[in-house]
Amino acid sequence: HTVVRLTQNTATCITVIILFNMCVGGNISLLMQAFRKKFIIPEFAEFAEKINKIYKTVKNQDEGKVANYIPQLAKFSPELWGVSLCTVDGQRHSVGDTKQPFCLQSCVKPLQYAIAVHELGTENVHRYVGMEPSGVKFNMLSLDDDDKPHNPMVNAGAIVISSLIKVKHFMNFVKRIAGQEFVGFSNATFQSEKETGDRNFAIGYYMKEKKCFPPGVEMIDALDFYFQLCSMEVTCESGSVLAATLANGGICPITDERVLSAEAVRNTLTLMHSCGMYDFSGQMAFHVGLPAKSGVSGAILLVIPNVMGMMCWSPPLDRVGNSVRGIHFCQELVSLFNFHNYDDLRHFVKKQDPRKQTGDDNIGSMFQLMFAAHNGDLSALRRFSLFSMDMDQKDYDSRTALHVAAAEGTHSLFFGREDVVNVLKDYQQECRQRLEQQIDAEDPQKLSTVERQL
């Protein structure tokens, strides 16, 4: 019996080891990053808690109306609200209704444009579509001076882009961008799109008259494919991976597969930044400063380059067709964190930077700062300031770099702070005198020892 039990225990241990190797084998690099705290967001749990707080704050927004001009969209509850994020190194967080499928609608436009550029190149794609903001509503019958759609983010441009893409493999391509996570199709929405798409048919015929389509393309086929693309479904969770692949330069952070070319991603993010939010694009660029694309399903695809992708979804829309809660979430996010493209300018208002290392790394930076102040290394101090190091951080004795510089006579490094330096020097001198008087009163022989310490 003992031999049998030992054999069973050994078999169990071997099974556990095999399962462990299966789980860990493909994720060694991920685990190494975790152990070394080398993730793009080092303190991810703390960051996730702050995302949850923003989510709860924004949830109280009850403005906007659910889109009803496409019957299938009108069926969604206005109470639905979800946010998911995926970092460029695979960290995930979701809060709210993040497993509920919804249609991409116009959020598919940057994806189809990226795939077209990936397959055909920038020059070939922009023979048929421009790259300027239109200045008019997304569904207007409007072309630029060259009789081309203004950009790929308006309906006219997206319909033309649809005519450039190979139909057969588009769904599989999007699944690869989403790391093989959920990407579906709503046939009911597709039928609704066709039945209520009079404006899009008008745009199609107008562009056919102006010869906007490539030779040999049937306009009706391009429109039909465009309606299919708008009817593709994702969840917040799979949508965040789509955004993260764009944030990661075309490499899916879940599978590490190069899905899109760097050129395609760069072009896509540029157009999302300038044209992605309908008539709110200028304000979005101004206040949020990040590439984004909205859809009338209530989705907002948000990209923070080199950091993470996010998908926000809430059906109630504002007057220009953007999710009310989604817009507020983006604004709150950038108000708290320095994700705006221009938040890292010198002398700008300091915001929280979740990309910064904490703990041992903070101690290391503090020692570097103190050492530079001690030695009068002006170039090092300037470099630290340019890289947004906290110049007021304190050591174990609550001294700042300015204290050290004043004590070592290198205070001239801190231009414009002479008044502070003088106060510190006066305070140091006063403390010295008081200490000497106190010690002298107690034991005059201790004075020489104190002088050496000072």
* pLDDT single digits (tens) 376-405: 777 777 777 766 677 777 777 777 877 777
pTM of the model: 0.76
- 322 within 8 A of 66, measured Cβ to Cβ: no
pLDDT of residue 27: 56
Q: What is the pLDDT of residues 327-366, one digit of tens each?
A: 999 999 999 999 999 887 766 667 888 987 665 556 667 7
Does the pLDDT of residue 145 top 80, yes or no? yes
Confidence (pLDDT) at 396: 73
Q: How confident is the model at residue 224 (pLDDT cuts 50, 70, 90)?
A: very high
Q: How far apart are CA 329 and CA 83, in angstroms?
A: 9
Q: Give residues with Cβ within 8 angstroms of 211, minimum separation 6.
A: 147
> Does the pLDDT of residue 312 top 70, yes or no?
yes
For position 8, what pLDDT does the model report? 62
Residue 224, both tokens:
């039909």
Q: What is the end-to-end Cα distance of the chain in Å, rounded?
A: 77
pLDDT band at 438 (very low <50, low <70, confident <90, very high): confident
| Non-local CB neighbours of 249 within 8 Å, separated by 6+ positions | 262, 265, 306
Those residues whose C-beta lies under 8 Å from the C-beta of residue 407, and which sit 6 or more positions away, are 428
* Helices and strands of the chain, counted as H and E runs: 19, 10
3-state secondary structure of 226: helix
For the cut 50, the answer to whether the pLDDT of residue 31 exceeds it is yes
Whole-number Å distance between alpha carbons of 312 and 330:
9
Whole-number pLDDT of residue 412:
61
3-state secondary structure of 299: strand
Residue 377: what pLDDT? 78
**DSSP 8-state code for residue 303:** E
- The least confident of 32-36, 183-187, 188-192 is 32-36
Distance (Å, whole) CA 429 – CA 357: 37
Higher pLDDT, 437 or 453: 437
Q: In the predicted model, is pLDDT for residue 308 greater than 80?
A: yes
pLDDT value for 452? 47
More confident: 230 or 370: 230
Query: Which letter does DSSP use for residue 107 in this model?
Result: G
Instruction: Name the DSSP letter for residue 87.
Output: E
Range with lowest mean pLDDT among 149-158, 335-344, 409-418, 445-454? 445-454
Q: Work out the average pLDDT over 139-151.
A: 88
pLDDT digits 0-9 by tens, 235-290: 999 999 999 999 999 999 999 999 999 999 999 999 999 999 988 999 999 999 99
Average predicted confidence (pLDDT) for the chain: 85
State mean pLDDT over 26-52. Answer: 77
State what percent of residues in the chain have pLDDT above 70. Answer: 82
pLDDT above 50 for 407: yes
Highest mean predicted confidence (pLDDT) among 18-27, 411-420, 440-449: 18-27
Tell me the pLDDT band of 411, cut-offs 50, 70 and 90: low
What's the pLDDT score for residue 14? 72
Note the pLDDT tens digit of each residue in 43-91: 899 999 999 999 999 999 999 999 988 888 999 999 999 999 999 999 9
